[in-house]
Amino acid sequence: MDRSSRPRSRGLAPVVAMAAAAALTLAGCSSSSGGKKAEEGAANASAGKADTPRMTVALVTHQAPGDTFWDTVRKGAEAAAAKDNVKLVYSADPNAGNQANWVQNAIDQKVDGIAVTLAKPDAMKGVIAKAQQAGIPVVGLNSGLSDWKQLGLLEFFGQDESVAGEAFGKKLNTTGAKKIVCVIQEQGNVGLTQRCDGVKKTFEGTTDILYVNGTDMPSVKSTITAKLKQDNSIDTVVTLGAPFALTATQSVGDAGSKAKVATFDLNKDLVKAVKNGTIEFAVDQQPYLQGYLAVDSLWLYENNGNYSGGGEQPVLTGPAFVDKSNVGKVAEFAAKGTR
Amino acid sequence: MSMTQQAGPAVDRPPASGPKDKDGRTARRPLALRLLARPEVGVFLGAVAVLVFFLIAAPTVRQGSSMATVLYQSSTIGIMALPVALLMIGGEFDLSSGVAVITSALTASMLSYQLTVNVWTGVVVALIVSLAIGAFNGWMVVRTGLPSFLVTLGTFLILQGVNLAVTKLITGNVATDDISDMDGFDQAKKIFASSFDVGGVQVKITVVWWLVFAALATWVLLRTKYGNWIFAVGGNKDSARAVGVPVNFTKITLFMLVGFGAWFIGMHNLFSFNTVQSGEGVGQELIYIAAAVIGGCLLTGGAGSAIGPVFGAFMFGMVQQGIVYANWNPDWFKAFLGVMLLGAVLINLWVQRTATRR
């Protein structure tokens, strides 16, 4: 014992010393501003917990990995699950075939309810019918406003992308915009295209479309810069996601343009930008609410047989505009990543 | 340029026998043709063709500031394309290079933010992490003898998952927190993501770094022992080992160089955008590899240059921005991009074929 432990401790000493030195260095370089220390203090809203029997709900979305928007949906769903004594099973895949497999997986697990997004409704038709045959209630959220009823879903929570786009266009008319560019970060995405089409429909000026590579920020930045230089009459850049709006403000600076930036969707950095005026306004479809209501509605259906919208109408969660006039209220929730 | 000079001395030897020269096989070919036969000259002409094309098709490109944007876009591809090209000359691939960029940026950002330390601490730790990922890739490849395609496909997937999961675990979100108000940020931004004025045009600093790295890589490749090792291990690993080239060392350090490149671009992303989205970077690895291949690096290793990928990256950046400057129908964007790149590569090939024909 002695023999083996002594050399080991000798070998360990330099490691410990190095770790200690590293810790000291870290402490020595501490930042006097920003960082985690500045953030701490934001408490989470806590609610009671239902005493209904434990049930399992599967939430299956078409989220691409690492998307801030879907993260908020998931947080809403988790909040409802915690409150309703629900075990939440979350799975996602942007590929429709794979998403359908996740629904099948949920059916195999014999969950008590399924909440699903219908980005590609036709691909989901088969598994949704299977779930219904298995007696599992299915609700829709986010995408699929035009198809949920036809597929026999109980209820739907989301935003009509075209309606949101149209509202966006009307709002732009009031800001005096004449020529806008609508930046699409994923070519061929139905929802994003509907947004730009909606804007185009009600906006009285000219609308140009610009596709950018959403997975490469420097490329997004330089492509928007290029567009602004190519056409210096553009007075507003419309982006379809919060991170892209923040990048667009940099492009505006780089291009020496006077264009304003307005966007769909929110995150906490974007709220800050609205507050200090670098971004005109954002339209929020309240992803947290979508996730929350989808899970909560399944709980209500299971325990009290209710359905929102009476099974006839969708429940719209957007468009809710966030601009300088109401950003203060939103900011405190956004800082927690729940709005 | 210096590569062509190297080809020169061989011809200086005294003609052994007069009659043999006359059949043309050993005759010294005109300088222009010898130049054109070099892969990087071919891609240079391809890049010039693309540039001239857009200068005519898109008036906006003629402004200095537009060229600065094109060069910026090219530099963010080009800085990574350089180590990727060296690695490819050394006979290996790295599919994890795109997501490794994000891993590095996430590391620096989260470490600085969560511990509330000077951002330089994060930057240094990120460098260590990036080099370690490169070393791991290299070590796995030389240790197992598996194709680097498989090994780095593994790391590509691992890093993709780790990026997301760790970010979510630590920050509770899928993007990192804004670090722009922290100590050291402005200083780091000056180095990785600032711009400077050249005759009224704002040029991004990455363009300078890109050219500096390219010059450095060219020097290493052509004038140092290490450069010879790279060609040797990529050409024939066993012969290289037989003549005493440290094959494993060379390969592992090449992978680490890619790690360094990923770190540099990762820092650029972080300090220009303040936050990092954890899902980014997927697909970029193919663009880096494409820039290297367009630049004349063989997919099979053993041949290529550092200057070729510079033009390869420029071609990519030029086409991508040029399409927007030319205001073509955006629905066709990807198709245009593909056609233009294919066209440029064909010009490259044609030039080489014509030049080497006797």
Structural domain boundaries enclosing A112: 55-159+287-317
Same domain, A72 and A149: yes
Domains identified in chain A, total number: 2
| Chain A to chain B Cβ contacts (< 8 Å) | 168
- Does the distance separating the beta carbons of A243 and B175 come in below 8 Å? yes
What is the pLDDT, as a whole number, of residue B327?
82
pLDDT band at A179 (very low <50, low <70, confident <90, very high): very high
Above 50 in pLDDT, residue A5? no
Residue type, B81: A
- Does the distance separating the beta carbons of A29 and B334 come in below 8 Å? no
Same domain, A265 and A184: yes
What is the pLDDT, as a whole number, of residue A26?
56
Domain-embedded: residue A326? no
* Residue of B107, B125, B173 best to disrupt the A interface, most CBs of A under 10 A: B173
Q: Check: CB of residue B182 under 8 Å from CB of residue B119.
A: yes
Same domain, A292 and A155: yes
Q: Which helix (H) or strand (E) holds A271?
A: helix A268-275
Above 50 in pLDDT, residue B143? yes
What is the pLDDT, as a whole number, of residue A59?
94
Q: Which sequence spans correspond to the domains of chain B?
A: 50-347
d(CA A280, CA A150): 38
Q: Check: CB of residue A207 under 8 Å from CB of residue B276.
A: no
In CATH, what number does B50-347 get?
1.10.3470
What is the pLDDT, as a whole number, of residue B320?
86
Above 60 in pLDDT, residue B24? no
The 3-state secondary structure of A35-88, one letter per residue = HHHHHCCCCCCCCCCCCCCCEEEEEEECCCCCCHHHHHHHHHHHHHHHHCCEEE
- Does the distance separating the beta carbons of B202 and A337 come in below 8 Å? no
Q: Which of A117, A118, A119, A113 is nearest to A132 (CA)?
A: A113
Q: DSSP letters of B67-118?
A: HHHHHHHHHHHHHHHHHHHHHHHTT---TTHHHHHHHHHHHHHHHHHHHTB-
Q: Between the CA of residue A196 and those of A164, A165, A178, A328, B100, what are the distances in Å?
A: 10, 6, 16, 28, 33
Contacts of B21 (CB under 8 A, 6+ apart): B15, B27
Structure tokens at A202: 């009600």
What is the pLDDT, as a whole number, of residue A19?
62
What angle do the packed helices A242-255 and A68-83 form, to 10 degrees? 150
Same domain, A241 and A253: yes
* Residue of B62, B97, B115 best to disrupt the A interface, most CBs of A under 10 A: B115
Give the ranges where chain B is alpha helix by DSSP (H): 2-7, 18-21, 31-36, 39-57, 64-89, 97-115, 119-144, 148-171, 185-193, 205-223, 225-235, 237-242, 247-273, 284-294, 307-325, 333-356
Where does a domain end: A234, A269, A284? A284
- Does the distance separating the beta carbons of A66 and B284 come in below 8 Å? no
Q: Which residues in chain B have Cβ-Cβ distances shorter than 8 Å to A35?
A: 112-117, 179, 182
Q: Which residues in chain A have Cβ-Cβ distances shorter than 8 Å to B66?
A: 226, 229
Work out the mean pLDDT of chain A and round it to a whole number. 85
B-contacting residues in A 276-335 (Cβ below 8 Å): none
d(CA A325, CA A271): 12
Q: Which residues in chain A have Cβ-Cβ distances shorter than 8 Å to B338?
A: none
* Residue of A227, A229, A249 best to disrupt the B interface, most CBs of B under 10 A: A229
| 3-state DSSP assignment of residue A13 | helix
What is the value of pTM for the model shown? 0.79
Domain-embedded: residue A331? no
- Does the distance separating the beta carbons of A209 and B113 come in below 8 Å? no
Q: Which residue of A has its CA nearest to B76?
A: A218
> Any idea what the CATH number is for the domain that residue A189 is in?
3.40.50.2300
Cis check: omega of the bond before A65, within 30 degrees of 0: no
- Does the distance separating the beta carbons of B275 and A216 come in below 8 Å? no
Q: Which residue has the higher pLDDT, B15 or B327?
A: B327
Q: Is A66 on the interface with B (CB under 8 A)?
A: yes
What is the pLDDT, as a whole number, of residue B5?
40
Same domain, A206 and A302: no
Min Cα–Cα distance to chain A from B168, Å: 9
Structure tokens at B166: 């760790």
Q: Check: CB of residue A85 under 8 Å from CB of residue A57.
A: no
* Residue of A93, A182, A222 best to disrupt the B interface, most CBs of B under 10 A: A222
Min Cα–Cα distance to chain A from B321, Å: 6
Strand order in the sheet with A55-61: A86-92, A55-61, A113-117, A138-142, A156-158, A315-316
Same domain, A279 and A167: yes
Q: Between the CA of residue B194 and those of A241, B103, B186, B297, what are the distances in Å?
A: 25, 22, 9, 31
Above 50 in pLDDT, residue A42? no
Q: Which residue of B has its CA nearest to A228?
A: B325
Q: Which residue of A has its CA nearest to B273?
A: A247
Q: Which residue has the higher pLDDT, B29 or B191?
A: B191
Q: What is the pLDDT of residues A156-175, one digit of tens each?
A: 999 888 889 999 999 999 99
Q: Which of A206, A218, A152 is nearest to A179 (CA)?
A: A206
Q: Is A170 on the interface with B (CB under 8 A)?
A: no
Q: What is the pLDDT of residues B63-90, one digit of tens each?
A: 888 888 899 999 999 999 999 999 999 9
Min Cα–Cα distance to chain A from B107, Å: 14
Q: Check: CB of residue B341 under 8 Å from CB of residue B44.
A: no
Work out the mean pLDDT of chain B and round it to a whole number. 86
Q: Which of A284, A272, A204, A188 is nearest to A236 (CA)?
A: A204
Domain-embedded: residue A30? no
Domain-embedded: residue A215? yes
Structural Rg of chain B based on CA atoms: 22
What is the pLDDT, as a whole number, of residue A18?
61
- Does the distance separating the beta carbons of A35 and B116 come in below 8 Å? yes
Contacts of B240 (CB under 8 A, 6+ apart): B229, B232, B233, B247
Q: Check: CB of residue A288 under 8 Å from CB of residue A279.
A: no
Where does a domain end: A269, A284, A299? A284
Domain-embedded: residue A329? no
- Does the distance separating the beta carbons of B173 and A66 come in below 8 Å? no
Same domain, A279 and A180: yes
What is the pLDDT, as a whole number, of residue B302?
85
